[in-house]
Amino acid sequence: MMPPIPANPAPVNPLRMDMIPMNYALIVAWVLFVIGVIGVLARRNLLFILMSVEIMLNASGLAFVVAGSRWGQPDGQIMFIFILAMAAAEVSVGLALVLLAYHRFGGLDADAANRMKG
């Protein structure tokens, strides 16, 4: 049971130097996510696609952490732990698939696996 989100966040001085402004952190997350998406779309090597997916996952994890710290709550970091666990599972399955695809198609080219049959 998550505690209810406070309606009015605690006032934060945007000019404090010891804190990175939230917008910057979110921009970093966004940049990471776009890099990941482009990697998925542009790369043909399955390994790189997998890595790009990891980058996208981390981007969303970063966004959670930033949002958590913005509201001064630990939920964002808990969420990140979940994402880590999920990413680990995903990678293990993904790598197994990559291995199979390598044996089957004799390479790691994603576009080689474009047959609907078999």
Partner 1 sequence: MMLPYLWLIPALPFAGFLVLSVLGRRMGNGPAAAVGVGSVGLSALVAILVASSFINAPPPAHVYTQTLWRWISVGGFAPGVMLYLDSLSLIMVLVVTVVGFLIHLYSAEFMAADDGYSRFFAYMNLFVGSMLVLVLAGNLLFLYLGWEGVGLCSYLLIGFWYREPENGAAAIKAFVVTRVGDTALAIGLFLIFINLGTLDIQRMMNLAALHWRPGGALPTIAAALLLGGAIGKSAQLPLQTWLPDAMAGPTPVSALIHAATMVTAGVYLIARTNVLFTMAPAVQIAVAVIGAATLLVSGMSALVQHDIKRVLAYSTISQIGYMFVALGVGAWSAAIFHFMTHAFFKALLFLGAGAVIAGLGGEHDIFRMGGLRRQMPLAFWCFLAGACSLSALPLVTAGFYSKGLILSSAWEAGRAGFWLWAAAIAGALLTSIYTFRLVFIVFFGEAKAKISKKPGPRAAIPLVILAFLSVAGGFVNFPAFFGIKGSMFFSRFLASALPSATYAAPLPETDLLLEAVAAIVSLAGIYVAYFFFLSSPEYSREMAGTAIGKVLKRFWFEDWGFDWLYEKTLAAPYRWLARTNRNDAVDLFYSFIAKVNMFFHYGLSLSQTGKVRFYAAVIALGAVVTITIAVFAR
Note the residues at the interface with partner 1 (CB under 8 A). 37, 40-42, 44, 49, 110-111, 113-116
Q: How far apart are CA 38 and CA 115, in angstroms?
A: 24
Q: Are 35 and 57 in contact (CB under 8 A)?
A: no
C-alpha closest to that of 97 among 58, 56, 54, 49: 49
CB of 55 to partner 1, least distance (A): 14
Smaller CB distance to partner 1: residue 73 or 90?
90
Q: Which is nearer to partner 1, 8 or 114 (CB)?
A: 114
| Complex with partner 1: residue 28 or 37, whichever CB lies closer | 37
Shortest spacing between CB 90 and partner 1, in angstroms = 15
CB 32 to partner 1: min, Å: 15
Question: Between the CA of residue 82 and those of 12, 61, 63, 64, 93, what are the distances in Å?
Answer: 28, 9, 14, 11, 17
